[in-house]
C-alpha cells in the first residue's frame, strides 16, 4: 500500500473551489504542487480503490450537492519557461499557473497567439482539455506539447499536438481518454512580433467603435476583456452574475442543410423577421456553427430568467448563474429546461461545456 499523501485532508468543501460556488464535500482532498506529489496521490487513490477527480481552477465544474466520494487531486504545479527561436517563442507553463496572467505576459512581450483568449478564468491545465477558445482563437492553434501523468501507465508522458486529438471545445483528454491523464504542463508556440487575430464580429465591431483601425495585441486584449465584461464573462466580485462556469452550452455544429431548414422554419413561424438573418458560421466539412445563445433566446428564454436560485445571466443568455444559495440540482434543472426547449423548438440538442461531478444533465 503506497504511503498516505502528506497533505491529505478529509471532508473539504468543493463549493469554494468552484466559480459556480456550488458543491458538497470531497471525501479526501490533496493539493499537489509537484509532479511527484501528483503521482503519489494518484497511486494512493488507486490502491485505496477510490475514484479520482482532478481539479484545477474550478471554472468549468458543476459539483453535486452530495460532493465527491473519492479523492480530489488539486493540481498546483507552477513555473513558466520560455525559449525563443527564429521568430517564435515556446512558452511552457505549469498546469497550476493562472491562465489570464500568462496571456497578459504574452501580450506584454509581443507574442501573438493567445490574445483573444484574454479574461478567461481558470488554470493552464484546463486549456488543452477543453481546447479553450474564444473570439476566433483556440489553444489548439498554439499548443505543441502536453506533459501529463498517465494514470494507466503510471508514468509521465509528453503528447504532441496531433496526439491530443483536438476538436471544437474538445480533446482526447475530455473524450475517449477522460480520466486517464493528469495534465502537468503545456507548451504553446507563439509568434514574436506577430499580428493579432481579429476574426470575430463582436470584436471587430468593438474595435471599430473605438476607432482602432490597426489594432495591436494590447488593443485586442483590452477589447476582448471589455466585451467579456459586458457579458459577465470575467470574474468581478461586484457583478451579480459572477458565480457561473461561463458559457454553459457549446455552439452547435450541424449539416448545412439542417441549418437551412432551421432558418426556414424560423421564418415561417415569425421567429425570424424577413429582413433578419439567423447567426450562422462556416465550419469544417461543409457544416455550419449556430449560435446557442440565439437558439435559447428564440426558444422563449430570456436573460434574467430564473428557476429557484439558479438563473440565466442578465448579461448573457449562455451563462447559468448561481443567484445566491443555489443548489446543483437547481442548476441542472434549469439546464435541462433550456436544453429541452431548444430541442423542442429547433430539433437541436445543446451540449453542455462544463464537467458534471457526481451528477448528470
Asked if residue 38 lies in contact with residue 73, where contact means CB atoms within 8 angstroms, the answer is yes
Residue 353 designated active-site: yes
- The C-alpha cell at 238 is 461586484
Asked if residue 155 lies in contact with residue 28, where contact means CB atoms within 8 angstroms, the answer is no
Q: What is the dihedral of CA 264, 268, 272, 275, to 10 degrees?
A: 80
Query: Annotated catalytic residue: which of 40, 97, 330, 353?
Result: 353
| CA separation for the pair 120, 134 (Å, rounded) | 9
Q: For the stretch 83-103, what's the b/e string if a residue is b when 16 or more beta carbons lie within 10 angstroms of its beta carbon? A: eeeeebbbbbbbbbbbbbebb
Asked if residue 126 lies in contact with residue 56, where contact means CB atoms within 8 angstroms, the answer is yes
How distant, in Å, are the alpha carbons of 40, 56, 96, 139, 246 from that of 59? 25, 8, 13, 17, 8
In sequence order, which residues have a C-beta less than 8 Å from that of residue 8 and are 6 or more positions away?
Answer: 28, 29, 30, 41, 44
Query: Annotated catalytic residue: which of 78, 165, 169, 341?
Result: 169
Asked if residue 189 lies in contact with residue 90, where contact means CB atoms within 8 angstroms, the answer is yes
Kind plus residue range of the DSSP H or E element containing 133: strand 133-134
Nearest to 67 by CA among 11, 19, 106: 11
Residue 247 designated active-site: yes
Locus of grid cell 459572477: 242
The residues pairing with 281 across neighbouring beta strands, listed in sequence order, are 289
- CB atoms closer than 10 angstroms to residue 342: 23
Residue 242 designated active-site: no
Query: Annotated catalytic residue: which of 140, 247, 263, 313?
Result: 247
| CA separation for the pair 190, 170 (Å, rounded) | 21
Could you please report the per-residue DSSP string of 147-201? EEEETTTTEEEEEEGGGG--BTTB-TTTTTTTTTEEEEEEEEEEEETPPPP---H
Which residues are the active-site residues?
169, 247, 353
Amino acid at each position: 500500500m503506497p504511503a498516505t499523501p502528506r497533505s491529505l485532508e478529509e471532508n473539504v468543501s468543493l463549493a469554494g473551489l468552484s466559480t459556480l460556488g456550488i458543491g458538497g464535500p470531497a471525501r479526501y482532498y490533496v493539493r499537489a504542487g509537484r509532479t511527484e506529489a501528483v503521482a503519489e496521490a494518484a497511486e494512493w487513490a488507486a490502491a485505496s480503490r477510490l475514484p479520482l477527480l482532478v481539479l484545477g481552477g474550478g471554472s468549468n465544474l458543476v459539483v453535486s450537492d452530495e460532493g465527491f466520494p473519492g479523492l480530489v487531486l488539486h493540481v498546483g504545479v507552477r513555473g513558466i519557461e520560455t525559449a525563443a527561436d527564429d521568430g517564435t517563442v515556446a512558452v511552457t507553463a505549469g498546469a497550476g499557473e493562472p491562465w489570464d496572467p500568462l496571456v497578459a505576459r504574452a501580450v506584454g512581450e509581443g507574442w501573438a497567439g493567445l490574445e483573444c483568449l484574454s479574461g478567461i478564468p481558470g488554470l493552464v491545465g484546463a486549456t488543452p482539455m477543453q481546447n479553450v477558445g474564444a473570439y476566433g482563437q483556440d489553444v489548439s492553434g498554439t499548443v505543441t506539447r502536453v506533459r501529463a501523468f498517465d494514470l494507466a501507465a503510471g508514468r509521465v508522458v509528453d503528447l504532441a499536438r496531433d496526439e491530443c486529438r483536438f476538436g471544437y471545445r474538445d480533446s482526447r483528454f475530455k473524450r475517449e481518454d477522460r480520466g486517464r491523464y493528469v495534465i502537468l504542463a503545456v507548451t504553446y508556440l507563439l509568434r514574436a512580433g506577430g499580428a493579432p487575430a481579429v476574426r470575430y464580429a463582436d470584436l471587430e465591431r468593438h474595435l471599430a467603435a473605438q476607432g482602432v483601425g490597426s489594432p495591436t495585441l494590447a488593443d485586442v486584449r483590452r477589447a476582448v476583456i471589455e466585451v467579456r465584461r459586458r457579458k459577465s464573462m470575467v470574474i468581478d466580485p461586484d457583478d451579480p452574475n459572477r458565480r457561473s462556469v461561463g458559457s454553459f452550452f457549446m455552439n452547435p455544429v450541424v449539416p448545412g442543410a439542417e441549418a437551412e431548414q432551421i432558418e426556414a422554419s424560423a421564418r415561417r413561424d415569425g421567429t425570424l423577421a424577413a429582413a433578419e438573418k439567423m447567426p450562422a458560421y462556416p465550419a469544417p466539412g461543409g457544416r455550419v456553427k449556430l449560435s446557442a445563445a440565439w437558439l435559447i433566446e428564440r426558444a422563449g428564454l430570456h436573460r434574467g430568467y430564473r428557476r429557484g436560485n439558479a438563473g440565466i445571466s442578465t448579461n448573457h443568455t449562455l451563462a447559468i448563474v448561481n443567484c445566491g444559495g443555489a443548489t446543483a440540482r437547481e442548476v441542472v434543472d434549469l439546464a435541462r429546461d433550456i436544453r429541452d426547449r431548444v430541442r423542442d423548438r429547433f430539433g437541436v440538442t445543446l451540449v453542455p461545456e462544463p464537467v458534471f461531478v457526481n451528477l448528470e444533465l
